[in-house]
Structure 1
Amino acid sequence: MPNMAVGMTRAATAIDLPPDIELILDISRLLSRVLHPMPTGVDRVELAYVRGLQARLGDRLCYGATNPLGFYGRIESRIAEAFFDDLEWRWQGGKKRRWTRIEAIRQIIRMWPRPIRKPKRQHSRYLIQASPSHLDKRDRVATKVAREQAHFVCTVFDLIPIEYPEYARPDGRSIHLARVETMAALADGLVTISASVAQSIEPYVMASGRRPIMRPILLGVDLPETLIPPTLDVPAPYFVFISTIEPRKNHLLLLHAWRRMVEQHGAENVPHLVIVGRRGWENENIVDMLERCETIAGNVTELSGLSDDALFPLLAGARALLFPSFAEGFGMPVAEALSLGTPVICSDIPALREAGQDIPDYLDPLDGPGWINAVLDYAKEDSPRRAAQLERMKDWRTPTWDAHIDGVLDLIAELERTRP
């Protein structure tokens, strides 16, 4: 059995780590996103690791990356931190335009990997990777770890392409299986984003014959300190669904539910649905509904590329977040909505139960009539179900990035205490 402690552990700080420990954060994922105007969930996690570890370690934190040409090395801290600032500014709405290809090439050149110095005698190194970048290439990862002469700590997001290959790209299962096998073979510490993910990866770790320390640590929620006034004109009452548009997220359930409600009650008596997210893969049926179903055209809006400044006020004003997904590793939108005081109606699956605790209304993701009844109830000003959830929400405790990073550092401290 891997050494696994479920739940949050005691807080650790940089003071808990001996001064002869060197921490390197792999930022390959962020470097690969220079041409993308908006972040994915994994992008946000890697940037949160940057900010959280910076706050605790200061100059003790180093950066490494494999650039788009496949070269791994260290990134000068001053240059990396300027890159993070600019990237974060763009994602929060500071710049609406993309980087041009020329700008992206210049950025990559500025962040060209540099040689790795040998560790000082008796000093320990820990290489932290908070994204799945290059994990499907075990030899490359093994070479990187060997060059750093480091212990390897990885974040595990989910095993969905392995457990539900029908929701992945055609080669998704084989690629993700290679990632999991790399982590099982090379990682000394595994951070899973929920206990359900820990249970999923445990058989692969046991099959490897190794015993890394494994910790389920919930991801944090990163909300703005103040919300700006809403910039989007959406008819009230409205509901929001935040997700990449792909079959696993179950958009079709909501779109068919909205068509049924319009047919039965009339468009003027049906609330609005706002779908926020980029279009993913194998979503032809969903796109057909969005583009060609005239019945729902006046009651459904599709948005993508929203900055945080636009997204969070939109979510805060919704009657509820809807999240009918078939499978998740955690369910960040659920935690974000509850942290904003917005009720949640979501699928009754283990990962979302962890994310939302006892607060949301949980429904079977195949129960169309149940979702229709919930939406119609929550849309009312005097909705008893919504009022009951708002009452439950008084017990909500927002998961924080401070707690997550503390858990990661605590795992590293335990690795250091128990290493030969």
Structure 2
Amino acid sequence: MITDAPHIFMDISRLLSRARNPIPTGIDRVEYEYVSYLLKNEAHRLTFVAFHPVGCIGTLSTRAVCHFVDAMGQVWDGDRPLRDRLPRMAQRLTQSVLLSCWTMSRHQGDSIYLLVSHHHLTRPGPIEKFLSHHGSLFVPMVHDLIPLEFPEYARPGEPQRHARRMATVARLAASVIVPARAVAHSLAPYMKNRPADNHVHVVPHGLHLQLSSLSDAPVSRLPDDGRPYFVYLGTIEPRKNHLLLLNLWRAMVEEKGGAAPRLILVGRRGWENENILDMLERCPALQGNVLEYNDLSDPEVVSLLQGSQGLLFPSFSEGFGLPLVEAMVLGTPVVCSDIPVFHEVAGENAIYLDPTDGPAWRRAIDALLEKMPQGRTAVEAAGMNLFNWPRQVAAGIAVADETAAFFRSNGPRAS
């Protein structure tokens, strides 16, 4: 039990930067859930902060953040009228940061600066200044090291940017939260020169609780012709390996025609994806057989997964894989890449295949076509235990509290 719990400076820079995007990414969801949990359970020791582009970190009005986060949650749940208001709310909050940078008083007592996204880790100066001003300990979350491990899938310059992020973490962090043991293993070489007081803590991500119940929000734009379909959730980028599925679908359509299942792609268009987009837009066999949605609400995604033959997840690399968990909780079959993090997350509840073995994926797809979506059993242990968001956020906050307690007992960290 932690006594004299530290004050928490919770950074929401990622959410502010994502106000124009109505559909959350996995990292967006993580920051949102940490904010929501802290507001409900730790508001007595909470101050929200954000990064301003001029190069400073300042405090925010808790009341204004509450209104913003509430609106963002409603937008994600499908409230379209709020979409236009959300960016203006974010802009006002960001503008207020600059004023607070000049007027912010020093916090007295133990405090933690909590950053659960990678936002502004390439700018260590403002972080270091904030830590020095408040005497705070830095507890960041590292979601993955994919740009460094697989630079061929990253945007130009992203490996260099991510290397700077990891250098910031290695130099300034008092402790680090990661979502999986696989990420901790990848991070270890970057932390090897740190003193012994640094710790990396594995805290798996949680699951949006709305996914644990049936949805009544069908995807109205999905053709109502009874054809079975499969789903892939994820940004359209090379790392996600969409080309494997698109080539399989072209062959299936050429073989079966209208009897072939559909493939539903859910996710925004990312980067370095020209070959994927060329197939989506110009391949005749895919027209009407592969459908792309980039603005579905959370309830619509739930409905889509529930009616599908299965989730297909052939990604080459992931830091965690939230879509896999979402599908498991709904009882939707999962076929995914045979990579360590997926085994860590799904255990025996998925079919694992080499992401380059097209024939094996075709056999798995054909096998799932023989099963009906109705009557499935959700993976209870994943849905309401290990992956419960409040529980997982509480574990992350416990890391921050234990970090403060450690430094309180052992004195300041050597530079």
Same fold judged by TM-score > 0.5?
A: yes
TM-aligned CA deviation for residue 395 of structure 1: 5.8
Q: Does the Cα contact within 8 Å between 1:346 and 1:361 map onto a contact in 2?
A: yes
- Write the distance in 1 (CA, Å) between the matches of 2:128 and 2:98: 21
Query: Match of 1:194?
Result: 180
TM-aligned CA deviation for residue 111 of structure 1: 5.8
TM-aligned CA deviation for residue 37 of structure 1: 2.6
Give deviations 1:334-382, integer Å, cap 9, x for gaps.
Answer: 0011111111110010111122121000110001001011111101136
Task: Pick one of 97, 120, 142 that aligns with 2:128.
Answer: 142
- Write the distance in 1 (CA, Å) between the matches of 2:290 and 2:200: 42
- Write the distance in 2 (CA, Å) between the matches of 1:278 and 1:202: 32
| Letter of the structure 1 residue corresponding to residue 237 of structure 2 | E
Gaps of 5+ in 1: 1-15
* RMSD, aligned CA: 2.2
Query: Match of 2:300?
Result: 310
The verdict on how the C-alpha distance between 1:175 and 1:210 changes in structure 2, with shifts beyond 3 A counting, is farther
| Letter of the structure 1 residue corresponding to residue 179 of structure 2 | I
Query: Match of 1:216?
Result: 202
Query: Match of 1:403?
Result: 391
Query: Match of 1:129?
Result: 115
Q: Does the Cα contact within 8 Å between 2:147 and 2:162 map onto a contact in 1?
A: yes
Is structure 2 residue 294 aligned with structure 1 residue 322? Answer: no
The verdict on how the C-alpha distance between 1:201 and 1:381 changes in structure 2, with shifts beyond 3 A counting, is closer
Gaps of 5+ in 2: none
The normalised TM-score by structure 2 is: 0.90
Is structure 2 residue 53 aligned with structure 1 residue 62? Answer: no
Where in structure 2 are the equivalents of 1:20-419 lying within 5 Å? 21-96=6-81, 97-99=83-85, 105-109=91-95, 114=100, 115-120=103-108, 123-209=109-195, 211-224=197-210, 225-232=213-220, 233-234=222-223, 235-264=226-255, 266-381=256-371, 393=379, 396-398=382-384, 399-419=387-407
Give the secondary-structure state (helix, strand or coil) at the position aligned to 1:287. helix
TM-aligned CA deviation for residue 104 of structure 1: 5.2
Identity of aligned residues (%): 37
- Write the distance in 2 (CA, Å) between the matches of 1:88 and 1:394: 25
The verdict on how the C-alpha distance between 1:299 and 1:116 changes in structure 2, with shifts beyond 3 A counting, is same
TM-aligned CA deviation for residue 392 of structure 1: 9.1
- Write the distance in 2 (CA, Å) between the matches of 1:33 and 1:229: 24
Q: Does the Cα contact within 8 Å between 2:9 and 2:114 map onto a contact in 1?
A: yes
Aligned length: 398
- Write the distance in 2 (CA, Å) between the matches of 1:148 and 1:382: 58
Give the secondary-structure state (helix, strand or coil) at the position aligned to 1:156. coil
The verdict on how the C-alpha distance between 1:82 and 1:396 changes in structure 2, with shifts beyond 3 A counting, is closer
TM-aligned CA deviation for residue 67 of structure 1: 2.6
- Write the distance in 2 (CA, Å) between the matches of 1:312 and 1:125: 39
